[in-house]
Amino acid sequence: MAASPQRYRRACDYLAAAMIYLRDNELLREPLEVRHLKPRLLGHWGTCPGITYLYAGLNRLRDPRTLLVTGPGHGAPAIHANLWLEGTHERFDPALSRDGAGLRELVRRFSWPGGFPSHLSPEVPGVVHEGGELGYALATAFGAVLDKPDLRAVCLVGDGEAETGPTAGSWHGHKFLDPARDGTVLPVLHLNGYRIAAPTVFGCMTDHELLDYFRGCGWSPKVVDATTAADPDELLAQTLRLAWDTPLAKPMIVMRTQKGWGAPAHDAAGAPLAGTFRAHQVPLANVHDDPAELRLLERWLRSYEPDDLFDQDGNPAPDLLEDLPGLGMLPEANGGALRRDLPLPDLAPFAAEGPASPTGTAGGWLAQLMRDTEDERDFRVVCPDELESNKLGAVLEATDRAFTPHVPGYSEHVSPGGRVMEVLSEHLCQGWLQGYLLTGRHGLFPCYEAFASIVDSMVNQHAKFLKVSAEVPWREPVASLNYLLSSEGWRQEHNGYSHQGPGFINNVLTKKASVARVYLPPDANSLLVVLEHCLASTGRINVVVAGKNEAPCWMDLDTARAHCAAGAGTWEWAGTGGPPQVVLGCAGGIPTVETLAAAHLLREHAPDLRVQVVNVVDLLALAPADRHPHGMAAADFDRLFPPEVPVVMGFHGYPSAVHEVLHGRADTQRFHVHGYHEEGTTTTPYDLLVDNGMSRHDLAADAVRRAGGPPGVVDRLLGERDRIRALAHRDGEDPAEITGWTWSA
């Protein structure tokens, strides 16, 4: 017969405490001495008993289609204890066998160099969410159950985490789930009343307020108060059973437990521990130096009666192992193993043959991809209410925006089964997509460029998850996280300064070279090629920046393929030929237009100047090959940017991004990068370019200057610039000579 929940929890709590404190004598077969202690006590006891309380309750449901998303990832010891008893650990690593040797290994490995980190992490089976940075568990859980109608995600949200904005915004997530096609999420708000040093906001709310709050969000909340229940396990089991039986009622649970439940009431100095913030991390921190505290620890650990739980060889009592569904073994938690390659449509029918909106062109192809995945339902688009304004509206001809509540007024393309997830929250979009990708599916995140920085820190954490996952032997690669940044700053001259910010690139460049990719396709066809590449890739964070306004299409599809494969290349047709006196480099849609216009201006104003035009699609191709896997060989780099020749570069983002990527290349001082300098307001596109020194006239003038050309030409070009800018200020729009410019060879 299976152990009672109390007894099961006693085993897990003992193991969790042992992981935090012990390096030896892990079953307390001897009196506890300092030499048995880990030299550094790294862990968080406070949330562990509550995690196991829930885990034990979930075990009783015996539903192996349960995904536990643990918000308080610092409570890792509790999860480890459960994974070990249920045999998940053993399955992924035989050294963690369910016997004395495995127990010893588990206890020692926790928070030890080369062992398990102190928080949940990709090394731990069953984990799709790290929890080190709080706020994203709930959104991740919602993403995980999309298009998995038989899956139940239980999301434990700590009352600290509940204070974060992203979590507060996530409670509405069920409104985007389709009861017919998606799974369900059962949120469990874990109220233990304290953060690391102070009471929590939710811990100070009355039950009445809590119930109101969650009812307002559309849930049917129940309070499970383990601090007052006669039989806490039975109460939780009944509540969970009810939730399992009535998913359409949107059940959620407010679960109260004592902080650090089971820890001593006071430390050796008399300070209160259990039930206070002092139990958050290591409740008895002076065990190495204070014999009285060491005795307290021993008494506490022995209170779990380890001899009653483990036999003399350290094998757990058989009843502890019975009837455990093995939640950590859920296949979705190693989603890469379930992932199929997307059936990417042929690009040819969608290729542009003349001026085209890059994102508009991509929208047609993405719509086809949406249709081609309608049966499998393993591709989604998340977007903060910007799909149409980013000219990707064609996708809405293939599917709707997902939303289940009754819409009281007029709407278009909104229905429960839609596979576009629009919400005015970059955080939710990102969290949903992370959950979706980590459980083996694919997606795209189109976003206003400036507002992608809202999720900088989430990207940081996802990049870490990907980096570590690649080092875990049993983790299969998941689909890349793909951003399509449109409504680029250069064409946010209408929304103004707040909407201009290309810094997302800079943040992604700080990520591991094995993970980070930045693409700046200059036209519609190269965008198609880049998207095809990104959606077929795994384990990366791909940032694709592309315009939405109609723009010249510089390359046919085949040319675009070759160009994108190389990462960067000389556009012979745009230069003068001959050994260049100056290279005009460009990266990004608008800078490419301006650079080509500059080349054109130079033909007229400085016809003897030998110019080479180089377009860069893959920003990291500029990096030295020893710093990034996409870095071009030095010889190739020198062909594009011949040594000693000055380079005037029009770059889409902050020039610093190019500067840092170039570091390590020879003679970088000859690169003069024009880009966004944080000058902007509501004005005309040309005026915005001029304010940042990025107009065609600025680029052409700088090229003449750097090549040592006549100052008179520079003055003429800048005079031309000022004349045009004055027209724009007078008329409120750019003159046709600028907007109507088209390339002529």
Residues 568-607 binding its own copies (CB under 8 A) are none
Q: Which stretch binds its own copies (CB under 8 A): 88-96, 213-221, 336-344, 518-526?
A: 213-221
Tell me which amino acid residue 13 is: D
DSSP letter for each residue of 584-609: EEEESHHHHHHHHHHHHHHHHH-TT-
Residue of the chain from 34, 95, 198, 249 that contacts its own copies (CB under 8 A): 198
Task: Give the chain's length.
Answer: 745
Residue of the chain from 50, 193, 646, 693 that contacts its own copies (CB under 8 A): 193
Closest CA to 118 of 22, 47, 42: 42
Residues 508-567 interacting with its own copies (rule: CB under 8 A): 509-512
Residues 678-737 interacting with its own copies (rule: CB under 8 A): 678, 681-684, 687, 728-729, 731-733
36 lies in the binding site for its own copies (CB under 8 A): no
Whether 311 contacts 318, CB under 8 Å: no
Residues 356-395 interacting with its own copies (rule: CB under 8 A): 385-389
Nearest approach, Cβ of 343 to its own copies (angstroms)? Answer: 28
Residues 67-96 interacting with its own copies (rule: CB under 8 A): 73-74
Instruction: Report the sign of the C-alpha dihedral through residues 362, 368, 371, 376, in that order.
Output: negative
Kindly tell me which of 596 and 622 has the beta carbon lying closer to its own copies: 622
Binding mask 287-326 for its own copies (x = CB under 8 A): ----------------------------------------
CB crowding 346-368: b at 16 or more within 10 Å, else e: ebeebbbeeebbbbbbbbbbbbb
Kindly tell me which of 478 and 599 has the beta carbon lying closer to its own copies: 478
**How far is Cα 76 from Cα 112, in angstroms, rounded to an integer?**
13
Whether 641 contacts 585, CB under 8 Å: yes
277 lies in the binding site for its own copies (CB under 8 A): yes
Residues 389-428 interacting with its own copies (rule: CB under 8 A): 389, 401, 403, 405-414, 422-425, 427-428
**Rounded (5°) CA angle 207-177-238:** 45
Nearest approach, Cβ of 325 to its own copies (angstroms)? Answer: 28
Residues 431-490 interacting with its own copies (rule: CB under 8 A): 450-451, 453-454, 456-457, 460-461, 463-464, 467-468
Kindly tell me which of 74 and 605 has the beta carbon lying closer to its own copies: 74
Whether 284 contacts 267, CB under 8 Å: yes
668 lies in the binding site for its own copies (CB under 8 A): yes
Kindly tell me which of 497 and 741 has the beta carbon lying closer to its own copies: 497
Beta bridge partners, 70, equal 156
Residues 342-361 interacting with its own copies (rule: CB under 8 A): none
Give residue 102's Cα distance to chain centre: 34
Kindly tell me which of 11 and 463 has the beta carbon lying closer to its own copies: 463
Calculate the alpha carbon distances from 381 to 4, 65, 68, 129, 420 in Å: 45, 25, 24, 20, 5
Kindly tell me which of 223 and 566 has the beta carbon lying closer to its own copies: 223
Calculate the alpha carbon distances from 30 to 35, 306, 313, 475 in Å: 12, 12, 14, 39
Q: Which stretch binds its own copies (CB under 8 A): 8-16, 332-340, 495-503, 569-577?
A: 495-503
Residues 116-175 interacting with its own copies (rule: CB under 8 A): 116-119, 121, 130-135, 160-161, 163-172, 175
DSSP letter for each residue of 633-699: PHHHHHHHS-TT--EEEEESS-HHHHHHHHBTBTTGGGEEEE---S---SS-HHHHHHHTT-SHHHH
How many residues bind its own copies (CB under 8 A)? The answer is 134
Residue of the chain from 40, 62, 302, 340 that contacts its own copies (CB under 8 A): 40
Calculate the alpha carbon distances from 574 to 314, 611, 615, 718 in Å: 75, 9, 10, 22
267 lies in the binding site for its own copies (CB under 8 A): no
Look at strands 152-158 and 66-70 and give their pairing. parallel
Kindly tell me which of 236 and 447 has the beta carbon lying closer to its own copies: 447
Residue of the chain from 29, 340, 494, 723 that contacts its own copies (CB under 8 A): 494
Backbone angles phi, psi at 281, to 5 degrees: -105, -110
